[in-house]
Structures are given as C-alpha cells and as structure tokens.
Amino acid sequence: MSEPLFLRTTIAIIWDFDTTLIPGYMQEPLFRRFEIKSADFWKEVNALPQFYRTGGVKRAANDTLYLNHLLNYVRDGKLPGLTNKLLRQLGNELEFYPGLPEFFQKVKDLVSSNAKFATHQITLEHYIVSTGLREMIMGSKIAPYVDDVWACEFAEESASPGFLQKSLFAEAAKEPVICEIAYSLDHTSKTRAIFEINKGCNKEPQIEVNTNIAQELRRVPFRNMIYIADGPSDVPCFSTVGHFGGRTYAVYKAKSTREFEKAYGLQKQHRVEAFGEANYEDGSPTAMWISHAVQDIAERIVRDRNRMLGDELGKPPGHVTEPEKSPIVAEAVAAAPNFESTKSSVPRKSPSPTRIASSPESATESS
C-alpha cells in the first residue's frame, strides 16, 4: 500500500483583508502618496460599468474594474512611476485592527505548544484571499505571519508579439512601471483559491485545481478550515466552506451600526456560524471564538486519527485467563466435597438436532 500524499492534519484559517484585517481599504496609502482623493477614484470606478455598457459592452467585471482604472491613472501621469516595489513599500503603512498581527502567531502557538496536537503532527496555517493588491499585502506588517496570499498582481512589462525570440526587457528604455493585470480575483473566483488550498496546489505545483482528487486525499479538508471576512461580498466563500463542514465567522467595525447590521444579516441568513467585532486582542469575543474553533478542529483530528489507528491495528492479543470466582461461589464449592464425583456420575446426552441448529448458518447445514 502506497503512502498517502498528505497527512490531512493541517488547519487553515483563511482571511479576507480589507475591512477584515484593516479598518479601511489598502489603496489609501497609495492615494495619499500621490495626493489623489480616494472618494473621487471610487466614484469613477463605480460608474465604469455604465460607461462600458454605453460603449456596447454587455457585461463588466465590477469587482476588478478598479485594477484597469489604476492603470489608466498610471498612463495619465496621475500615478507616475508606480512599480510593484513601491506598492510593497506602501503596504508597510497599513494599520491593522487591534491585536494584529500578533494574534496570527498566538493562534499558531496554541496548536504547536499542545503536546497532544504535536504528537499527531497538527499544524495551523494562515492564508489571505483578497481582491486587493498582493504586493501591498506582502509589504505589510502581517506578511511574516502568513503562509500564502492570493490577491491581484500587476506586470511591469508587456509581452509584445515575438517576445519569445528576444529578451523580454531588452528594449526597456526606462524603469518599468505597472502596465498590465497579471492575476486578478473577484468575489466569486476567490472560491478557486479555497479549492487550491483544499487540494494542496500551493504546496505541490503539479496538482492543478481541476485535478480530480478524492475528498479523503486532499491536503486540507474543508472541515479543517475557518473562513473569516466582513461582508455579503464574501458569501460565495462562506457558502463553500460552510457547505463542506468548515467554520465561518463575520467581523464588523466597532461602533458602526451599518457594519454590525451587515454581519448580523449574514448570520440571520445562515451564511455564517457567528460574528463579532473586528478586535483580535486577548480576551476579545472574536479572538476567543477563533481560538476555540481551532481547538475544536484539532481535538476532532485527534479523535479521528485515534479511531483510524484502532481500526487499522485492531485490539492487541492478550493472555487467556480463567475468570476469577467470586467469594460466594468459592465458598459454595468448598462446602460441596462430592461435587466432582456427582458431576462425573451424570451421563452426558447428545444434543438433539433441533438444539444444534441454533443459528441460520447451522440450520442450513443440518438440512
């Protein structure tokens, strides 16, 4: 029998980013650097679908239109010299909700410091799946605590026709700036990232997300996942994780009635298991819920593995011993000196065929 590819002892906490880990949107440091009014930018982005429909476009990808508009700002000179390196530098300016990024390490330590969990090689991984900008996330303070990030990425050079016959950057006359969308995620395609985590595509590149892998062979079972986000736009991910037995949790900004109502609505519609304020400090309801959910999953993995071990090995053989007589029986035997002779003097009778056929199998044999 071949060894399984994965132990299936990994717990994955999958996080949204904007308004889940940070109070606002990650593009704010970018707009501050270039003195752009964020409200004006997002107003234009929201008007783009109608702009494209007027030009004959039937459908527009609302979630990722802002990426093209950022590129338009670069081409128009409003974001001059914008590179991936600068995006990463700006990511360091992002401010996180209370308790972060320290909470990421604390919840990992919760698993790694437990001897029982360590015996079963249980580990915890953090993943971020966002429609935001990967370079900014990777430049933020939380990046060292994250195992992988799925988010939008820009290329700094275009592959012109015939680029395979020449050096890709040979004709670059000046420092390259972002000019094309290399990878994008919308709120629906974020579920693809969840399936990649589920199947282990990020750990074994030869595995593709559409590879047919039995549920019991996948690296991170959905039951080992916790998905944490803030709003209705995450419903596809909430539904996917929850449908397959994972845990789901919504967060909201403190003292915001509108944000609270969004999270409350998600629970009321059974989209999430629970919700709480976006505060990850020790003793906060959200930190305690996540910590207990992680422990619940780890304990269930231990139970499953112990049960599987018992099924595989069975009970070990033991010595055959005579049952110990109770004091009352022993006293009765001692008081009957002729017991053995009496027992031997009684003639033994052969059992009748009817008494032999005490089970369906033996009855069949008798007939």
Could you give the domains of the chain? 10-21+96-159+184-313 (3.40.50.1000)
Please state, in angstroms and rounded to a whole number, the distance separating the CA atoms of residues 32 and 133.
16
Please state, in angstroms and rounded to a whole number, the distance separating the CA atoms of residues 168 and 327.
94
The per-residue pLDDT for 308 is 78
- In this prediction, residue 309 has a pLDDT band, given cuts at 50, 70 and 90, of confident
The per-residue pLDDT for 290 is 98
- In this prediction, residue 364 has a pLDDT band, given cuts at 50, 70 and 90, of very low
The per-residue pLDDT for 231 is 87
Q: Which of 142-156, 315-329, 341-355 has the highest mean pLDDT?
A: 142-156
- In this prediction, residue 355 has a pLDDT band, given cuts at 50, 70 and 90, of very low
- Whether residue 212 is predicted with pLDDT greater than 80 in this model: the reply is yes
Tokens linked to 363:
């009855």
Mean pLDDT on 324-351: 45
Please state, in angstroms and rounded to a whole number, the distance separating the CA atoms of residues 346 and 295.
65
Sheet bearing 148-155, strands edge to edge: 180-183, 148-155, 123-133, 10-15, 225-229, 247-252, 274-277
Please state, in angstroms and rounded to a whole number, the distance separating the CA atoms of residues 243 and 365.
51
Mean pLDDT on 210-214: 88
Mean pLDDT on 188-198: 96
The per-residue pLDDT for 215 is 87
Q: Is 58 helix (H, G, I), strand (E, B) or coil?
A: coil
- Least confident piece of the model among 69-78, 167-176, 333-342: 333-342
The residue with tokens 């505060």 is: 279
* CB neighbour list of residue 210: distance below 8 Å, 6 or more residues apart: none
Nearest to 9 by CA among 80, 114, 92: 114
Percent share of the chain, pLDDT over 90: 70
| Residue 319 burial (C-beta neighbours within 10 Å; 0-12, 13-18, 19+) | exposed
- Least confident piece of the model among 10-24, 158-172, 300-314, 321-335: 321-335
Please state, in angstroms and rounded to a whole number, the distance separating the CA atoms of residues 264 and 1.
49
Please state, in angstroms and rounded to a whole number, the distance separating the CA atoms of residues 156 and 180.
7
- Least confident piece of the model among 1-15, 91-105, 200-214: 1-15
- In this prediction, residue 353 has a pLDDT band, given cuts at 50, 70 and 90, of very low
- In this prediction, residue 232 has a pLDDT band, given cuts at 50, 70 and 90, of confident
| Residue 143 burial (C-beta neighbours within 10 Å; 0-12, 13-18, 19+) | middle
Q: Say if CB 222 and CB 191 are below 8 A apart.
A: no
**Average per-residue pLDDT for the chain:** 86
The per-residue pLDDT for 162 is 85
- Whether residue 2 is predicted with pLDDT greater than 60 in this model: the reply is no
Mean pLDDT on 96-117: 97
The per-residue pLDDT for 168 is 53
What's the N-to-C CA distance of the chain in angstroms?
Answer: 43
- Whether residue 366 is predicted with pLDDT greater than 60 in this model: the reply is no
Nearest to 228 by CA among 140, 283, 142, 287: 287
- Whether residue 323 is predicted with pLDDT greater than 70 in this model: the reply is no
- Whether residue 337 is predicted with pLDDT greater than 80 in this model: the reply is no
